A and B are shown apart, each in its own frame.
Chain A
Amino acid sequence: MLVIKDLHAKIDDKEILRGINLEVKPGEVHAIMGPNGSGKSTLSSVLAGNEKFEVVEGEVSFNDKDLLDLAPEDRAREGLFLSFQYPVEIPGVSMVNFMRTAVNEHRKYAEKDPYTASEFLKLMREKKKLVEIDSNLTNRSVNEGFSGGEKKKNEIFQMAMLEPKLAILDETDSGLDIDALRVVANGVNKLKSPETSTIVITHYQRLLDHIVPDFVHVLYKGRIVKSAGKELAHELEEKGYDWIKKEFED
């Protein structure tokens, strides 16, 4: 599904990603962990197409397409979804209008007819129930005045609406209390299927108790320095990152 080969990216002449290699197959859950500043969020931004970052080397293929060649909106339409670490507030754009535009753009890309207003509202009702999002949130402007937890739930709701093939959750657990974390994790698990994949970027192991990864990678100084099964997450939780840093420096 996703193949990253020797990916290098920089911002303002500072190289943040320094040769990432990663392969994600359908149905797999990958966790990417690592200390602050290791490049985790940069990787997700680069994959989603944020133009603030410049890719200087490497290739990324997504379902056999050259991902780096696609505009951000086309990456989304191809089935890539980024759950933002800091979802943006957009006053004046209603959630309904935002989602209807997004869903219908996806359908247009897939050469399907746009949803009618009633079809769309029905879909929205179903998905809201699925991810346990408060009804009122969708009557408001996009993320405006939402609490941290509400913003993250809203990301998962959007994911449910857009049904991506690959979801990248960028520190979706940061700042979440245990109930919100459960709601978010349940949502992600319900949306999982053998055809879809998930990349969970996190600092802590707690989320991985709920969303169980097949692989855990440690990102450090712009490279994946260690990959293993889910037990690695526990080890990191216990011992911190210092031993990895040490191992890597040596």
Chain B
Amino acid sequence: MNKTCRIVNLQEEYSQLYKENLSLLENGAPEKMNASRAKAFDLFVEKGIPSNKVEEYKYTNLQPFFKGSFDIALSSDAALEGAAENFNCGVPELDTHNVFLINGWFANQDDCNQLPKGVVVGSIREKAEQYPEVFEKYYNENTPNNLDAMAAMNTAFAQDGAFIYVPKGVVVEKPIQLVNIMSGDNDRLVFQRNLIVVEENAQVKVMLCDHTISPQKFVINNLTEVFVKENSVFDIYNVQNQHNLTTQVSGMYVHQKKHSNILTNNLTLHSGVTRNNIRVTMDDEHCESHVYGLYLSDKNQHVDNFTFIDHAKPNCQSFELFKGVMDDSASGAFTGRVLVRPDAQQTNAYQSNNNLLLTDNAKINSKPQLEIYADDVKCSHGATVGQLDDEAMFYLRARGINQTEGRILLMFAFAYEVIEKIRVEPLKENIRSLVEKRFRGEFDKCDSCVVCGQQGSSVSCL
């Protein structure tokens, strides 16, 4: 059922919401999910929705966005109500295995027989029952409930999400695409919890495509836990494409073992308020991680990427690159914490954050934060904030290219480096054209998504 809650004072009502509906939250959910709730709830209540007084959320005060009158779906039926026919399953160009989630709940997916043998994809609450040994071993084992109130909130409230399991030695050729759709007749509060386990010597690429298809206000707290075992390769591309009334707090917690290679790329193309918490724990030697992001903001949009690369063991490498183009009165923040622990010798860590501000009102706060406790390491970081290059613009104009076109070329040139990091060729192509359209102002959420083919609706053009 859909429960309507009115949030004015935050903690009070969220506590009440939890307590009054605990039996519904627990209903049908896996045992470990329910067993984790109480402790996480206490941690959440203790810390509360972060305001800008919390150091980690200094540039993104979430409190005002988590107030209001929301529907919250406490069952699959409620989440899917009325939305089932609204989405489009046709995916142009990209050959992917598609999984559709509506308001945080699993809706349906392509034929699983197309997947390699042993690969499991589906609803986390369902698959937890079928594969209890995997679920019990990993669920909530890499989520910092004690450090981040939003992670704790997710653990306390989440009921469904996606589950992906790739067994030892299996290479999944087709990317798996999780299409997250927000829909409803009232403003909504949404929780989603994903669990991805990539076993030894396995490979998989995942795309997370976030959409809104109705004009209501959506407040989303989603969290993805990823375990990448020895010698495996994992990519995740999160394409965030939502309307301006969306607030999304998105947690991505990746845990790596020996010789594994991971890539995360957060492509925030359009959204209201986005906070990405990205944490990579390199918990074994010879891990390699690539953590990338691109954010294109205008109007009053706000994007905050908070990253934490934990070099816990020696001989690991990390490459971090975030780039942003901010127009109008957009604001943003980047925090890049890199921790090199005392025995993590021979660490190579590179970090870079570059920003292009197109107006005097656009704003970015960039904060590299390197903590190095080992003495034989290579670490570098750089943060830049700049404007479009006047000389380059004149050069283009002197060749007959007008200012508008020149601006697009230069903005695209700036963003291009992050797009080049995409390791799925057709996705790279699609993102390239999507970004160009975004700069041209031809793109909005009304277009069907070139990535997942999701149709927008004109009412969602806010």
Contacts and interface: CB of A to CB of B under 8 A. Distances in A.
A138 to B, nearest CB: 14
A90 interface: yes
B413 A76 contact: no
Contact of B401 (A75, A88, A92, A101): A101
Contacts of B118: none
Nearest to B409: A93
B392 A76 contact: no
A102 B400 contact: yes
A82 B414 contact: no
B401 A73 contact: yes
B405 A93 contact: no
A75 B409 CA distance: 20
Contacts of A101: 401, 405, 409
Nearest to A77: B400
A92 B415 CA distance: 8
B421 to A, nearest CB: 13
B410 interface: yes
Given A87-B395, A92-B416, A97 B402 contact: no
Contacts of A158: 399
A220 B403 CA distance: 34
A109 B396 contact: no
Nearest to A50: B394
A90 B392 contact: yes
Interface string A92-110: 1100011001100110010
B405 A72 contact: no
Q: Which range holds the interface residue count of chain A?
A: 20 to 34
A76 B399 contact: yes
Contacts of B417: 92
A73 B397 contact: yes
Contact of A84 (B395, B401, B414): B395
A32 interface: no
A158 B402 CA distance: 17
Contacts of A106: 400
Nearest to B414: A92
B373 to A, nearest CB: 35
Contact of A90 (B397, B405, B410, B415): B410
Interface residues of B, number: 22
A22 interface: no
Contacts of B157: none
B408 to A, nearest CB: 9
A162 interface: yes
A102 B396 CA distance: 8
B93 to A, nearest CB: 19
Nearest to B406: A73
Nearest to B400: A76
Contacts of B403: 73
A142 B396 CA distance: 10
B409 A72 contact: no
A51 B394 CA distance: 9
B394 A93 contact: no
Most A CB within 10 A of own CB, among B400, B403, B412, B414: B400
A141 B424 CA distance: 22
A50 to B, nearest CB: 6
Interface string B364-403: 0000000000000000000000000101101111111111
Contacts of B405: 101, 105
A11 B409 CA distance: 28
A98 B394 contact: no
A183 B399 CA distance: 22
A162 B399 CA distance: 8
B398 A92 contact: no
- Most chain B CB neighbours (cut-off 10 Å) among A49, A50, A92: A92
Interface of A: 48-51, 71-73, 75-77, 82, 84, 87-88, 90-93, 97-98, 101-102, 105-106, 109, 141-142, 158, 162
17 contacts: A49-B398, A72-B394, A73-B397, A73-B401, A75-B398, A77-B400, A82-B398, A84-B398, A87-B395, A88-B391, A90-B392, A90-B395, A90-B413, A93-B410, A97-B409, A102-B401, A105-B405
